[in-house]
Amino acid sequence: MQISVVIPLFNEEESLPELCSWIDKVMKENNFSYEVLLIDDGSKDKSWEVIEKLKSKNPNLKGTKFRRNYGKSAALNVAFTKAKGDVVITMDADLQDSPDEIPELYKMIISDGYDLVSGWKQKRYDPITKTIPTKLFNWAARKASGIRLHDFNCGLKSYKNTVVKSVEVHGEMHRYIPVMAKWVGFSNIGEKVVIHQARKYGVTKFGLERFLNGFLDLMTITFVSRFGKKPMHFFGVIGSLMFLIGFVLFSYIGGYKVYAMFNDIKAENIANMSGFYIALTSMIIGVQLFLAGFIGELISRNAQERNNYQIEKEI
């Protein structure tokens, strides 16, 4: 099979018939063998009934319904385990992503050799309250990850099948699949300018809180990707530095006090000096950070996936 189209959805009963018909038209025009994986993330409307009707007319459609709403990451993770196509293409169900982009996204994976291609909605039909936080978020993601993408959160992406089988998407980490792909060794990441269409049905499912959550997730994925298997390299270095600063300051204060005592020089009581408490606090924090790194190393070394390495080829 050439293409698996993955569509996570939540309350999109109005857009599904038009979207599936559009995808089928594009596939037939290009003679692609394909499947469409519709993941109903606990919809409260009639989305599942619509999927059942569409399935009866098109055997290439496959549906999965969650008992409750788990989020987009969960939907993608389940779909990735089921996808059989050589190329896996994800898109949103709200008709803001155009299926006409599928042939070029497929070509960039198969012919141009990219591991992953992310869409870039260069011209957006969103309110300014959404576009400005999006630009700020993408800037921070580029700086933290080193991946030069303009639109990390674009739902329209294409992947080699081996990429989606190598990443585990959980929480709200769907925004950072390119970062996770790079982490496991798929560094040939491309970008394509795609058409962004105005929402035709329903309302957006995302609020401003997703940007705050996005920055927190960015911090998490950045830390885990760099120090997930070597936490002592982070906590140990900072802890040792903090302890060293505190120890040097304490040695200076204590050494001067001893010098003053032996030379009959009047000196202030150490307990009345702010520097003493700064030094003591610094050493305590340093020890705590060092222990956090040590405990992290123990946990990491006992994790089941500690030796889970991505092997590309064997002979």
Whether residues 257 and 185 fall in one domain: no
Whether residues 265 and 155 fall in one domain: no
Residue at 310 is within a domain: no
| Last-in-domain residue among 227, 245, 262 | 227
Residue at 93 is within a domain: yes
Whether residues 185 and 156 fall in one domain: yes
pLDDT the model gives residue 111? 95
Residue at 312 is within a domain: no
What does the alpha-carbon distance between residue 167 and residue 177 come to, in Å, rounded to a whole number? 8
Residue at 315 is within a domain: no
Average pLDDT for runs of 10 along the chain of length 315:
95 94 96 96 93 95 93 93 96 92 96 94 69 77 84 91 91 85 90 82 60 70 72 88 93 84 78 86 94 84 60 55
Whether residues 126 and 192 fall in one domain: yes
Whether residues 87 and 199 fall in one domain: yes
Query: Domain count of the chain?
Result: 2
What does the alpha-carbon distance between residue 24 and residue 306 come to, in Å, rounded to a whole number? 43
pLDDT the model gives residue 64? 94
Whether residues 162 and 284 fall in one domain: no
pLDDT the model gives residue 34? 96
pLDDT the model gives residue 137? 78
pLDDT the model gives residue 109? 97
Whether residues 156 and 10 fall in one domain: yes
| Last-in-domain residue among 206, 227, 248 | 227
Whether residues 293 and 154 fall in one domain: no
pLDDT the model gives residue 262? 80
pLDDT the model gives residue 310? 55
**What residues does 190 pair with on adjacent strands?**
117
Residue at 314 is within a domain: no
> What CATH number is associated with residue 152?
3.90.550.10
Global pTM?
0.74
pLDDT the model gives residue 60? 95
| Last-in-domain residue among 183, 208, 227 | 227
Whether residues 174 and 238 fall in one domain: no
Whether residues 59 and 44 fall in one domain: yes
Residue at 307 is within a domain: no
- Domain of 14? 3-227
Residue at 148 is within a domain: yes
Residue at 313 is within a domain: no
pLDDT the model gives residue 202? 62
Whether residues 60 and 150 fall in one domain: yes
What does the alpha-carbon distance between residue 300 and residue 74 come to, in Å, rounded to a whole number? 24
Whether residues 126 and 182 fall in one domain: yes
